């Protein structure tokens, strides 16, 4: 392969894929809704025993096959390769996610501007601003969606080295720098101590079955598993990359960013006696009013926060487009430009339909069986496609790939004892855990 990641490029690109809106937006509000420290502890344990296990498996499959996810399952299978190839079509899920993900990134770009010029002073005012924008302002949303679409596809058009790796080498350090500055600023606030206690002192009396399942689910989804991204990046990995070390580095960065975001957000919440359990409206409705409480400096802090959120979203969106582009290039020998058009067309259409879902006078055109198109894509991918793909990766690696192939690759980077623990986890712990996530998601919906 002419274009391969360097080790640092792979770590930052895979981390960029994992570190998305789920870390800076979803993780804090889910932590708030599920009791704080106990949720975080279960989340961290699951990251280590399930998340990293599956992450290493996806990298191994990509590295062994050096091809797209569909070809990976087809060529590495010890039997039933023609059937297993269908597991590789999880890459369709990444396209679907990218389409509505870009709509949300467009909202974030809007809020970068709003934070600078129009901080709302009350929850009611903030809710009115967000509601009015999302439900009525189709033109601005469409312009911003197109801008995000162009940025993402332009970066992917430059390939592994000149596009994806280069973008992550710039955006990921900037993301960490911005969040680091905000965290440093939060040290001076009285709410920081309460925030730290809320996140890192578990209260097990608040743990329920729902808490455990939610934490396990968040740990699975946060590492960008089950959509073909990590497998695709693994196929573009240089021969001398330490797979195990790199996987732990990605998991560390992913978790570190989530905890940083949590500390920053809950410092503001406790500083101004707001409610931790605020749901998905935390970032777009509640936080702007807390930034207002900071005075004139709140405009800067608010804008920086949404800049960081935009960086996280863009790096993830890039990673969701690449698997399908890579598939077109490997399977049909398309040029990268031709592959981008083939992938971009459905993403653009589905993204526009997702955008219409919330517009009052348009949503009837994209509502099916009482469910908006945006929500259909969200539920289809997160409740069904990603968990099913995760189970397939675990079962395939543990039972349908020659053990010696996996051992020969990983034994360079881990002891026999550690390999045996990992192999046990990929055969038993990971598939059972993800099946529980799948069942819970279906029942809960």
324-368 pLDDT, tens per residue? Answer: 999 999 999 999 999 999 999 999 999 999 999 999 999 999 999
Q: Please indicate, yes or no, if residue 2 is contained in any of the structural domains.
A: no
* 396: confidence class by pLDDT, cuts 50, 70, 90: very high
Q: What is the predicted pLDDT for the residue at 150?
A: 97
Q: Has residue 24 got a pLDDT over 80? A: no
Domain that holds residue 95: 7-444
User: 154-184, pLDDT tens digit by residue?
Assistant: 999 998 888 999 999 999 999 999 999 999 9
Q: 20-34, 44-58, 313-327 — which is least confidently predicted?
A: 20-34
Q: Has residue 279 got a pLDDT over 60? A: no
Give Cβ neighbours of residue 94 (< 8 Å, ≥ 6 apart): 227, 228, 229, 319, 320, 321, 323, 324
Please count the structural domains in the chain: 1
Q: Please indicate, yes or no, if residue 208 is contained in any of the structural domains.
A: yes
Q: What is the predicted pLDDT for the residue at 444?
A: 67
pLDDT (mean) for 113-133? 88
Q: Please indicate, yes or no, if residue 191 is contained in any of the structural domains.
A: yes
Judge contact between 248 and 47, C-beta under 8 A.
no
User: 203-235, pLDDT tens digit by residue?
Assistant: 888 777 777 887 877 887 788 888 899 999 999
- Residue 371, beta-bridge partner list: 368
pLDDT (mean) for 394-402? 96
pLDDT (mean) for 4-33? 81
Q: Please indicate, yes or no, if residue 1 is contained in any of the structural domains.
A: no
* 445: confidence class by pLDDT, cuts 50, 70, 90: low
Taking the mean position of all CA atoms in its chain, how far away is CA 20? 4
Nearest CA-CA partner of 10 in 248, 192, 293: 248
Higher pLDDT, 29 or 331: 331
Looking at residue 325, which CATH number applies to its domain? 1.10.4160
* 277: confidence class by pLDDT, cuts 50, 70, 90: low
Q: What is the predicted pLDDT for the residue at 101?
A: 92
Q: What is the predicted pLDDT for the residue at 1?
A: 42
Q: Please indicate, yes or no, if residue 145 is contained in any of the structural domains.
A: yes
Q: 17-31, 133-147, 381-395 — which is least confidently predicted?
A: 17-31
Give Cβ neighbours of residue 213 (< 8 Å, ≥ 6 apart): 436, 437, 440
User: 82-119, pLDDT tens digit by residue?
Assistant: 899 999 998 999 999 999 999 999 999 999 998 888 88
Q: Please indicate, yes or no, if residue 357 is contained in any of the structural domains.
A: yes
pLDDT (mean) for 266-270? 87
Q: What is the predicted pLDDT for the residue at 105?
A: 94
Q: Has residue 3 got a pLDDT over 80? A: no
* 2: confidence class by pLDDT, cuts 50, 70, 90: low
Percent of the chain whose pLDDT exceeds 70 = 97
Q: What is the predicted pLDDT for the residue at 96?
A: 95
Taking the CA atoms of residue 391, residue 224, residue 28 and residue 148 in that order, the dihedral angle to the nearest 10 degrees is: -140
Taking the mean position of all CA atoms in its chain, how far away is CA 222? 5
Q: Has residue 303 got a pLDDT over 80? A: yes
- Residue 237, beta-bridge partner list: 5
């Amino acid at each position: 392969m002419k274009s391969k990641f360097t080790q640092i490029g792979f770590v930052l690109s895979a981390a960029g894929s994992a570190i998305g809106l789920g870390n800076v937006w979803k993780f804090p509000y889910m932590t708030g809704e599920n009791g704080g420290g106990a949720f975080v502890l279960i989340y961290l344990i699951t990251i280590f025993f399930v998340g990293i296990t599956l992450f290493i498996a996806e990298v191994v499959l990509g590295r062994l096959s050096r091809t797209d996810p569909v070809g990976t399952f087809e060529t590495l299978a010890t039997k039933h390769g023609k059937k297993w190839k269908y597991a590789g079509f999880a890459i369709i899920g990444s396209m679907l996610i990218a389409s509505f993900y870009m709509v949300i990134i467009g909202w974030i770009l809007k809020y970068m501007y709003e934070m600078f010029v129009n901080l709302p002073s009350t929850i009611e005012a903030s809710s009115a601003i967000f509601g009015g924008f999302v439900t009525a302002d189709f033109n601005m949303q469409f312009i911003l969606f197109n801008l995000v679409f162009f940025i993402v596809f332009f970066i992917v058009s430059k390939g592994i080295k000149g596009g994806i790796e280069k973008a992550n080498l710039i955006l990921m350090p900037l993301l960490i720098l911005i969040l680091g500055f905000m965290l440093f600023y939060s040290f001076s606030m009285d709410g920081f101590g309460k925030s730290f206690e809320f996140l890192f002192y578990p209260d097990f009396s608040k743990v329920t079955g729902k808490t455990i399942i939610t934490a396990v689910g968040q740990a699975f989804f946060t590492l960008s598993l089950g959509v073909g991204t990590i497998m695709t990046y693994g196929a573009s990995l240089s021969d001398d990359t330490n797979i195990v070390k790199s996987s732990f580095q990605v998991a560390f960065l992913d978790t570190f960013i989530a905890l940083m975001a949590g500390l920053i957000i809950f410092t503001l919440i406790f500083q101004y006696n707001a409610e931790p359990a605020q749901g998905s409206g935390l970032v777009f409705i509640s936080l702007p009013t807390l930034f207002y409480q900071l005075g004139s400096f709140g405009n800067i802090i608010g804008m920086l926060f949404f800049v960081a959120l935009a960086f996280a979203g863009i790096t993830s969106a890039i990673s969701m487009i690449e698997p399908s582009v890579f598939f077109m290039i490997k399977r049909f020998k398309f040029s990268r430009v031709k592959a981008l058009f083939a992938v971009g067309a459905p993403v653009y259409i589905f993204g526009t339909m997702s955008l219409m879902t919330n517009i009052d006078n348009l949503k009837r055109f994209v509502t099916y069986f009482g469910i908006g198109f945006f929500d259909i894509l969200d539920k289809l991918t997160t409740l069904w496609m990603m968990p099913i793909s995760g189970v397939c990766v675990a079962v395939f690696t543990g039972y349908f790939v020659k053990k010696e192939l996996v051992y020969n690759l990983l034994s360079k980077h881990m002891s026999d004892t550690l390999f045996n623990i990992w192999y046990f986890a990929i055969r038993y712990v990971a598939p059972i855990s993800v099946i529980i996530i799948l069942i819970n998601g279906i029942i809960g919906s």
